[in-house]
Structure 1
Amino acid sequence: MLSKNAVTVLEKRYLRKDESGAVCETPEDLFRRVASTLAAIDADYGATPAEVQETEARFYRLMYELDFLPNSPTLANAGTRTGQLSACFVLPVPDDLGGIFETIKHAALIHQTGGGTGFAFSRLRPKNDLVNSTKGVSSGPVSFMDVFNAATESIKQGGMRRGANMGILRVDHPDILDFIRHKEDLSKLTNFNISVAVTDAFMEALEANSHYHLRNPRSGEIMGTLEARMVWREIIQRAWNTGEPGVVFIDRMNRYCPVPWMGGYESTNPCGEQPLIPYESCNLGSINVENFVRMDDSGKTAIDYDALREAIHVSTHLLDNVIDANHYPIPEIRDVTLATRKIGLGVMGFARMLFRLGVGYGSEASFKVAEELFSFIDFESKVASIKLAQLRGQFSGRDGHEGESNAFFERLFVERDRNPHRHPSANYLDLVALVKEYGIRNSTTTTIAPTGTISIIADTSGGCEPVFALAFKRWQADTHMVDVDKVFLDHAKLHGYYSDELMAAVEANHGSLLGLKGFDMPTKAAEVFVSAHDISPREHVMIQSAFQKYNDSATSKTINFAEDATVEDVEAAYTIAWQTGCKGITIYRNNSRQFQPLSVPKAEPKKTEQPAEAVAPVAAPVVPAVPMAPRPRTRSEDLYGFTRVTMTGDGKLYTTVNYDEQGIREVVTNVGRSGGTLNSLSEGIGRLISLALQYNVPVDELAAQLIGIRGANPSGFGPKQTLSIPDAIGKVMKDSPRQLGAILSAQPVVQPSLEPQAVEAYTYAGEATVNGRYGVHAVEVYGESPECPECGHSLAFGEGCAVCHGCGYSRCS
C-alpha cells in the first residue's frame, strides 16, 4: 500500500496529467503503463501474445508490490510521447572547437529530455597552449567548463529541473590546480559536480612522497611535475571547505571496463555511480531489499533469498527491455548503448533492512550483510543475463572480441569468488564456462545509484545510505508533526518503550537515540537503530567498500562528517577509500556550505524561535488610555522615486518606490510578461506595503518580513540572487534609503557590493561571498536546514544528493 508521501510524489512527478493539469491516471495505471510498454519488447524476440502478457504481469507485480522500481525517467516516460527512459549519459569533449560545441548541443538535447550528463575535460589542451589554426593560445579546459555550465543554465531537465553535470579532469593534466580551486567560488559551475580523476601513478607518488608528471594531452609530452602530496592536500582542503572536488580512481575504474576496445572510461554520470564510455547511457533500477526480510514463528528475522532471486531475475529482464524500448536523444547514444547493453541493478532500503535484521549500520556485522546481500544480487543478475543471452544473443560489443571479453569476465569472476563473505550460493566460477558458451546479454549488471524519489515511493531508506534521522519534523496541516521511522516506531510499541516524550526527545537529539537519558529502552535499541548522525566516516567508507566488491560500476554514496571534523579526518577517509577498493569518494562536512542539506535540529532552541511573550517583560497593570485610531498619511499629488528592474525566476519584476516629504510613501510592483496570477499577487503585495507605509510602519521592518522568502524558482547568484518576488521587493525596499539620498543629490547610484552584515541577512544556497570565503551565515536566517523550494519541507542529504522526503523534490532523480 502506498504511503501519503508516495502518492504525493507520484501525483506531482510521475502520473499523467490532462491538458488542464489534472491527474488522469492512478498509481496502478502508471505501473501498468510501464509494465505494458516494457513487456511488449518480448515480442521482438519471438514471444507469443500470451507470453508477453505473462511478462507484463510479472513486471507489474514487481512494481505494484514495491519490490523493485526503475529509475525516474522510466517511470515518468515509458509509454508516453517523450519515451526517453535513461537517467544519465557521458559525452566526449574533443580538443577542437567544432567538436566542443557539438557536445554542448548534444548535452542540451539530453537535458531537454530529462537526462544528466558526464564530461571529461582531460582531452583539452592546457591553458596558453598553441592553437595552430589561429596561431593563438588555448584558454584551457576550465574556461570551457564555464561555457558548458552557462549552456546548462538555460535548459531545464525534462522541463522540471536544471540539467545536472559531472565534470572530471585527470590529475596529470597541466591545469589540474586551476580545476581543483575553481569551485571554491560556489557561484561558479552551479550545474556541475566535479571530481579529479586520480591515477595509479599519482597514488604511487603520493605514497612515496615524491613528484609526478604532468602531460599535455595534445602531444603527450611531459610539461612539468608537481609534488603529489601538495596536490592531494589541495583536493582534501577544498573538499573539507565545500564537499568538492570528489575523487574517482580512474585506472581502477578502467580495470573493470568490460569493453576497452570500444573506448575506456574518462568520466562518470553526475552522481558518480556509473563509469560510462563516451556516448553510453545508464539504465538503472533498484530492488527494495527491506521487503525481503521475513520473520519466522519464533520471531527471528532473515533475508528470503528465494524470493529475492526471483525479483532479481525479473528486474534484470525488465532493465534489458528498457534498452530496446528507449527513445534515445541522439543516434550515437543509441548505437553505443545497444552495443554494450549496460544495466545497473542496485538496492534501496538497506538501512531499513538492517533495522529489521537487528544489525547496526556501520558495525562489522553490517559489512558482512552488505557483502553477502550484494554478492547474491550480482551473481543472480549475471545468471539472468546469461539466460537472456541464450534467448536473445550476447551484447554485440563482444562480437569479434570474445577472447578478450571471456578473459575479462574470467578474471572478474575469479576475483569475486575469492571474497570470503560472498553468499554461499554465489559460485562465480560456475559462470566462467557459461559466458564462454553462451556469452552474456549485458556488459554490466550492477550499480548502487541514488534512489531519492523512488525510495520515497517505496517508503524505504535510500540506496545503501543510513536513515538520516529516526525522527524529524514535517510541516503538515499547518503545524509541525514529528515524523518517526516506521520500523523504529513499530519496535518501540512492540517492546513497550514507546512514548510521545521519547519521540520528541529523539527528534530534538538530531534524530538519534545516542546519549538520551531518562528513558527505559532496551540496551540494544541504540545499537540497532542507528541514524546518519551516529556513524563515523570510516564506517561510511567501509559500507561503500563492502558493496563495491561485487559492483560492476560504482557507488553513489556520501561520506558525512561532523562540522568539527578536521582536514586530517577527511584525508583519512579518502585514503581508506583507496586502500579498500572503492572507485571514488564524495564527502560532505556538516555546515560546510551555506546550502545546509541536513534537517535535524540543534539541541538548543534558537533565540528567534522563542515566542514573543516569552522574551517581553511583564508590565505592571495600568489604567488603559482611550484608544486613538492611527491616522494615515495623506498622499501628495506629486511623488518622486525610482524604478528597479530585477530578474526573478518568474520574469522581470518592476518595483517602483515613491517618496514624499516624510520618506517612502508607496510601492508599486509589476511582473513583466507574466500572466494575471503573478501580476495580481505582486500588485497585492505592493498595495499592502503602501497601506502599511501610510500608517508609518518602518520600512526596514517591512523589508525584513519579505527578504528571505523562497519560491520554487530562485534566480541569479551571489549578492544579486533573488529567491522569489517578495524577496526581490524586500531587497529593493532595503536599498531605498540609499536611493533616496542619491535622488536628492541628483547623483546616479552605482549598485554596491554587499557588506558582510547584509550578506548574512538574506543570502541563500552557498552563493554569497564573505571576505572572499564561503561560510554558513545563511544559517542565521534559514536555520540549519533550508526548506524544500517546492513544498517547504526540510531537505536531507545522502547518495550525493539533496532530497525532500515530503514532496519528492530531488536534484538527482
Structure 2
Amino acid sequence: MTMQTSQGGEASLTESATENTTAQRAANLTQAPGASAAEVSATAPGQLRVIKRNGTVVPFEASKISVAITKAFLAVEGGTAAASSRIHETVAKLTEMVTATFKRRMPSGGTIHIEDVQDQVELSLMRAGEHKIARDYVIYREQQASKRAARQSLSAETQEAADRINVVQLDGSKAPLDLERLHIIVSEACAGLDDVSETRILDEALRNLYDGVSMQELSTSLVITARTLIEQEPNYTYASARLLCDNLRTEALSFLGVADSATQGDMDRLYAKALPAYIARGVELELLDPTLAEYDLERMGKAILPERDLQFTYLGLQTLYDRYFIHSDEVRFELPQIFFMRVAMGLAVEETDREARAIEFYRLLSSFDYMSSTPTLFNAGTLRPQLSSCYLTTVPDDLHGIYGAIQDNAMLSKFAGGLGNDWTPVRALGSYIKGTNGKSQGVVPFLKVVNDTAVAVNQGGKRKGAVCSYLETWHMDIEEFVELRKNTGDDRRRTHDMNTANWIPDLFMKRVFDDGDWTLFSPNDVPDLHDLYGKAFEERYCAYEAMAATGELKYSKTVKAQNLWRKMLGMLFETGHPWMTFKDPCNLRSPQQHAGVVHSSNLCTEITLNTSADEIAVCNLGSINLPQHVDENGLNLEKLAETVRTAVRMLDNVIDINYYSVDTARNSNFRHRPVGLGLMGFQDALYKQHIAYGSEDAVTFADRSMEAISYYAIDASSKLAEERGAYESYEGSLWSQGILPIDSLGKLVEERGSDYIKVDDSMTMDWTSLREAVKARGMRNSNVMAIAPTATIANITGVSQSIEPTYQNLYVKSNLSGEFTVVNPYLVNDLKVRGLWDSVMVNDLKYYDGSVQAIERIPADLRAIYSNAFEVEPRWIVECASRRQKWIDQAQSLNLYINNASGKKLDITYRMAWYSGLKTTYYLRSLAATGTEKSTIDTGQLNAVSSESAPAPAPVPMACSLDDPDCEACQ
C-alpha cells in the first residue's frame, strides 16, 4: 500500500516509519491513500471523502487514523503489555471521536480538507489529555508547512533543477536532494534578520549545484552564496554564520554519536546530550582535563543557551572553527556553546561551588559581554592549561643568563605566550669583557638568535612565536638596534620576524624638546641607570655625563638628541619599528614601585610589570565588550559593574589554574597576581551613540567609560581580597597607601615638571570611599587593568578591535581563516534610514576604499561619524588615550594612524603622545597617497589608478590586527 506525500509523490508505509517521531507519522497517515478518478467517482453516496493539498480527492478511511495514532502512542509509552492494553482502548476512542465528528457534520456524506482531519486528530488528543503526543503532532505539522513553503517560494526552474539532483551521502550512497530540509536550514538562518532573503540564498545556491554533489559541497554552497551578499546587506553575515553552524553540527554531532545532523531548533534538546558525550570523548582522546567529567553534567547541559549560536558573525564563527575548536584528526567536535562551557568549566575548577560559577562564567562569555584572551580560550579545560597571555623578562649581562633567557623564551612561546624581553643590561658592542680580556659583540647578535627562536617555536603549530625586544635609549647599541628591521644592510644583523621597542626615559624627551645633547653608554659602566627613573635617573645620568666629559668614563658617545629622535622616527616610518614606549610614566605610576622596577613592556605594549633576574612577569588578559554596555541612555553602569565583577574573578582564577613552563614565572605570578582587564569595541560604542571619534564628545566618553571600568575593577579586586586574601606583596604598594591610578597621575606631573606634560585629572565617581575601602580590604591583584589589541577576540564577538577607530567602512579582511568582506553595519543602517543604501553606494564605497568623505550624497553629519582611522586627526586618538590612561594602572596598545605621513607629522604626533602622559604606543600605521585599481566595481570607467601626489613609501605593516593575524598572544 502506498501513501501520497503533500507534494503529490508516493512514499511507502515503511518509508513513513523512518520519520522523526510517531506523531509525525500520524500526520502523514491521516492523509488517506491515493485513489484514481474512477475510484472516486464510484464512491457510494453518503461516504466521506478527503481533499488533499494537491487537489486530489480520496476516500476517508478511519482505519488509517487508528493505525497512525496507535504508532504514536507506542513511540511514547513503549510496547509493554500493560501499555498496549491502554493504548488499544484509547486509540479506539480517539478514532471514534474523529470519525463521529465528521459523520455528525455531514450525515449525507461530503468532502473534507486534509487540514480539517488533522485539526480534529490534534483536538481529540488534547481533549483526551495526551498532551505530549499532541505537542509533537503540532510541531510536525508546522515543519511540514515549512517544507511546502520551500517549494512554493522557489522558482519553477529551480524546483525542476532540484528534482534532478542526487546528493552523495557521508557513507558514499546517493539520495535525492532534500529540498525541504534545505529550506528549514536556510529559514532558520534568516529568521529575525531584516532585509535578508532565504529565497535568494536557495535560488542562487541551487543554481550552482550538480547531480552527484557531496553533502559537504552542498553545505558549502549555501555558506558561500550567503557570504557573497554581505557587502550588499551586512545582516547576511549572520545568515552565513548560521549556515556554517549547520556544517559544524553535522561534523561534531556525528563524531560524538549524538545525531547524524540537526537543525538549530533541534539543539534545544541536543546540546544537553552532546555535552557529556563531548567531555567523555575529549577525555578519552587525552585532549580534555578529566576533572571536567566530575562536574554535574546534566546541570551544565541544561544551562546551555542554544539561541546564542545565532549572534555570531560569519568571520567570528569561522575564526572559532579554524583555530579554537578542539579537534581530533582535523574533525572539530566542539560546538560553539560547548566551547564556551568548556572554557567556563576550566576556569571554575577550583571554585567551591564550581557548577554555579561555571554557569556564571559561561553566561558572561556566551553573551559576548566579555571575552577571555586567546590563550585562555585555547587551553582552558585542557590537560595543559596555559591560560596567561604575556610574559616579561629581563636578560642578565652574562652568557649563561643570556642563553637561559632565550631558553625561557622558547618554553614560554611553546605554550602560546607572548614575550617582552628587556635587553638593556647586556653590555654594548666594543665594551670590555674582563673574563676574556676581549670586547663584546653587543646586543644585536643575540637578538638574531631570539628572532630565529621565535620562528622555530611556533606554539604547537597554532601560530608563530612572537617576541618584542626592548632597549633603553641611552644604550650604546641603540643606533644599530633601531635598524634591526631594515631590509638593507648585513642580514646577519637584522631581525625580520621580531618586534622591537625603544624604552625611552623622560630626560631624553626633554633633551629633544630643548634641542640638547644626548650621551650613550654601555650598561656595564653605568649599571644603576637600568633601575632608576624620574628625578633619580636624571641626577645620576647627568653625573655620568660629567664623568664622561672629564674622561673618567672612557667609553661613551655624545649625539644630538634630535638627530637620534629623527632616526628613531625614520625607522618607525620605514619599518614599523622600534615602537615608542616611555620608561618614566610606566614606573612613576606603577602600584608596585616598592617591589621592583618596570624595565619594559610586553609584546603588544600594554603590560607594565616589574621584572628582574629572579622574576618573569606574567599577565592574564580579558576584554569587556563596550558596546554591549551602551543603551539608549548611554553607558549602562549597573550592567558594567556586574560584568567587571565576574570578569575580575575569572582573571584571578587563571593565576591559580595556569600551567607555568618556567618556575620564575610561577613564583612571580603567585606573589603579585597581576591581571589585565581591558575593553574592545570602543568605536562601536561611539557609533551606537552617534558620536564621531574626532570630537570632544568622544574624548569625554573615553574618559567616563574608562573611569567606570577602573572604579568597578578596583572594587572587584578589593572585594576578592576580602574573600580570598590580599596578594603577597601588597604591603608597601601604592594600593596600601590609598593611592589609586588617578592619584598617581600627580606623581608623574611632579617628577616630570609641568612644562613637559598636560593631562586632565577630572573625575565623576566616589573615589574617596573606594580609597578607604581598598585600604581596609586590600587588593587581590597588584595590577588590574590593561587594554590589549583584541584583534582576534573582537572578530569572535563581531565588534571593532580594542580602542581603534574604524579601519575602513568596507574592505576585505584577510587572515588565517581566509578572506572576509567587512562592511560597517552602523553606516549601512544609517544610510537605510535616509534612503541612501543601494548598489550605487556599494560601488562608491569600493571605489573610495571604504571612505565616505568623497561621496557627496552622504550628509555631512554621517561623514563625520563614519570617518575612518586615517581621516581622524591623530590628536583625537592621543587625547582619548590620555583620558583613559589616567585611570589605568598598566597601559594601552595604542596604534597611531597618520595619513600621508611625513617627518613633521610623526614628530608632532609622538611628542604629543609623550606630552599627554601616555605610557606606551604601539604600531604606526601610515597610508600611501596612491590608489589601486578597483577591479570589483561594476562601472568600468572607475577602473584606473589615481594618485593625488607622488607615491608615498609602502604602508607600514598592520601587525596583529590586519596584515599579520598570527600574533594573538594579547588578544
TM superposition score normalised by structure 2: 0.59
**Paired position in structure 1 for 2:80:** none
Percent identical across equivalent pairs? 27
The alpha-carbon deviation at position 241 of structure 1 amounts to 1.9
Which of 771, 788, 791 aligns to 1:452? It is 791
Residue 366 of structure 1: how far off its partner (Å) = 0.4
2:593 alignment counterpart: 260
Letter in 1 for 2:876: E
In the alignment, the residues of structure 2 paired with residue 607 and residue 803 of structure 1 have an alpha-carbon distance, to the nearest angstrom, of 21
Task: State the match for 2:510 in structure 1.
Answer: 204
Of 855, 860, 866, which residue of structure 2 is paired with 1:523? 860
User: What's the counterpart of residue 316 of structure 2?
Assistant: 6
In structure 1, the residue corresponding to 2:430 is in which secondary structure?
A: coil
Aligned to 1:311: 643
Deviation at 1:500, TM superposition (A): 1.9
Pair 1:327 & 2:659 matched: yes
- 2: distance between equivalents of 1:263 and 1:420? 28
Contact 2:702 2:881 (C-alpha < 8 Å) held by counterparts: no
Structure-1 residue corresponding to 2:474: 172
User: Shift of the alpha carbon at 1:609?
Assistant: 12
> Are the aligned partners of 1:11 and 1:23 in contact in 2 as well (CA < 8 Å)?
yes
- 1-structure distance, mates of 2:503, 2:825: 40
Tell me how far apart the structure 2 counterparts of residues 481 and 229 of structure 1 sit (CA, whole Å). 43
Give the aligned partner of residue 225 of structure 1: 558
- 1:55 aligned residue (357, 373, 384): 357
1:517-596 aligned within 5 A? 517=856, 519=857, 521-562=858-899, 564-590=900-926
Partner of 1:678: none
What residue ranges of structure 1 are gaps of 5+ in the alignment? 44-48, 296-300, 593-599, 616-773, 777-783, 786-795
Match among 455, 473, 491 for residue 830 of structure 2: 491
Q: Report the CA distance shift for 1:304/1:565 in structure 2 as closer, same or farther (over 3 A).
A: same
Alignment of 1:610-759 (within 5 A): none
Q: What amino acid is aligned across from residue 508 of structure 2 in structure 1? A: F
Shift of residue 91 of structure 1? Answer: 1.4
SS at match of 2:864: helix
Residue aligning to 1:98: 400
Aligned-pair CA distance for 1:608: 14
Q: Give the aligned residue type for 2:708.
A: F
Task: Please name the residue that 1:75 is paired with.
Answer: 377
Q: In structure 1, give the amino acid aligned to 2:317.
A: V
2:810–2:850 CA contact under 8 A, matched in 1: yes
Q: Measure how far apart 1:354 and its partner are.
A: 0.4
Would you say 1:503 and 2:842 are equivalent positions?
yes
Cα deviation, residue 411, structure 1: 7.2
Q: Which sits farther off after the overlay, 119-128 or 495-504? A: 495-504
User: Following superposition of structure 1 onto structure 2, how do residues 31-430 of structure 1 map, counting pairs within 5 Å?
Assistant: 31-43=340-352, 49=353, 52-185=354-487, 188-220=494-526, 222=548, 223-278=556-611, 279-295=616-632, 301-399=633-731, 401=732, 405-407=735-737, 409=739, 412-413=742-743, 415=745, 424=764, 426-430=765-769
Do 2:760 and 2:883's aligned partners in 1 also have CA atoms closer than 8 Å? no
Offset of residue 510 of structure 1: 2.1
Change beyond 3 A, Cα 1:611–1:534 = closer
Q: In structure 1, how many angstroms separate the alpha carbons of the residues matched to 2:760 and 2:525?
A: 46
Q: Which amino acid aligns with 1:201?
A: L
Q: Which amino acid aligns with 2:890?
A: S
Displacement after TM superposition at 1:601 (Å): 9.6
**Residue number among 785, 798, 801 corresponding to 2:960 in the alignment:** 801
User: In structure 1, how many angstroms separate the alpha carbons of the residues matched to 2:905 and 2:935?
Assistant: 29
SS at match of 1:510: coil
Q: Summarize deviations over 1:528-551 as a string: whole Å, max 9, x none.
A: 122213212222222222221212
Cα distance in 1, alignment partners of residues 581 and 760 from structure 2: 26
State the distance in 2 between where 1:496 and 1:809 align: 41
Deviation at 1:313, TM superposition (A): 0.9
Alpha-carbon distance in structure 1 between the residues aligned to 2:485 and 2:682: 33
Show CA shifts across 1:263-284 (max 9, x none). Answer: 2111111111112222011100
**Matches of 1:486 and 1:423 in 2, distance apart?**
33
Q: TM-score, normalised by structure 1?
A: 0.70
Structure 1's consecutive aligned runs of 4 or more residues displaced over 6 angstroms after TM superposition are: 416-421, 606-612
For structure 2, the residue ranges without an aligned partner over 5 or more in a row are 1-310, 527-543, 549-555, 750-758, 945-951
SS in 2 for 1:194: strand
In structure 2, what is the Cα distance between the partners aligned to 1:123 and 1:546?
33
Contact 1:508/1:602 (CA < 8 Å) preserved in 2? Answer: no
Q: Equivalent residue for 2:853?
A: 514
The offset of 1:183, in angstroms, is 2.4
Post-superposition Cα deviations, 1:585-641, rounded to whole Å, max 9, x if no partner, equal: 23434367xxxxxxx9936547999999x99xxxxxxxxxxxxxxxxxxxxxxxxxx
Deviations 1:424-448 (Å, cap 9, x if unpaired)?
3x22222222222211111111111
- Describe the superposition over 1:55-97 as per-residue Cα deviations: whole angstroms up to 9, x where unpaired: 2222111111100001000001001122100121011200000
- Which residue identity lines up with residue 218 of structure 1 in the other structure? N
Cα RMSD for the two superposed structures: 3.1
The alignment partner of 2:692 has SS state of: coil
How many aligned positions are there? 606
Deviations 1:435-477 (A, max 9, x none): 222111111111110111100110000000011111124799x
Contact 2:874 2:897 in 1 (8 A): yes
Q: Report the 3-state secondary structure (helix = DSSP H, G, I; strand = E; otherwise coil) of the residue aligned with 1:95.
A: coil
- Give the residue type in structure 2 aligned to 1:239: L
Alpha carbons 1:473, 1:507 under 8 Å: kept:
no
Alpha-carbon distance in 1 for matches of 2:653, 2:709: 19
Give 1:490 deviation, angstroms.
2.1
For 1:809 and 1:105, the matched residues in 2 are separated by: 20
Quote the Cα distance in structure 2 between the aligned partners of 1:91 and 1:158.
22
Letter paired with 1:309: A
Distance change >3 Å, CA 158–CA 370, structure 1 → 2: farther
Contact 2:605 2:892 in 1 (8 A): yes
- Per-residue deviation at 1:493? 2.0
Secondary structure of the 1:503 match is helix
Whole-angstrom CA distance in 1 between matches of 2:939 and 2:771: 67
State the Cα deviation string for residues 739-764 of structure 1 (Å, max 9, x = none).
xxxxxxxxxxxxxxxxxxxxxxxxxx
C-alpha distance in 2, partners of 1:410/1:459? 33
CA 1:262–1:159 in structure 2 vs 1: closer, same or farther (change >3 Å)? farther
Residue 572 to residue 408, structure 1, CA distance change in 2 (3 Å): farther
1:174 and 1:128 map into 2 onto residues whose CA distance is 9
- In proportion to residue count, which structure has more helix? 2
Per the alignment, residue 704 of structure 1 pairs with none
SS in structure 2 at match of 1:169 = strand
Deviations 1:532-582 (A, max 9, x none): 1321222222222222121211111211122x3210100000110011011
Q: Is the 8 A contact 1:254 1:265 kept in 2?
A: yes
Distance 1:475 1:387 in 2: 43
Work out which structure has the larger RCO, using CA pairs closer than 8 Å and 6 or more positions apart in sequence: 1
Q: 1:17 pairs with 327, 341, 348, which one?
A: 327
Post-superposition Cα deviations, 1:483-529, rounded to whole Å, max 9, x if no partner, equal 42122222222332221211221232121211212x3x443211212
Which residue of 2 is the match for residue 697 of structure 1? none
Change (3 A) 1:475 1:146: closer
Q: Distance in 2 between matches of 1:515 and 1:114?
A: 44
Residues 374 and 970 in structure 2, CA contact (< 8 A), matched pair in contact too: no
CA distances 1:277-309 after superposition (whole Å, capped 9, x unpaired): 2201110000111112213xxxxx522111111
Q: Which amino acid aligns with 2:648?
A: T
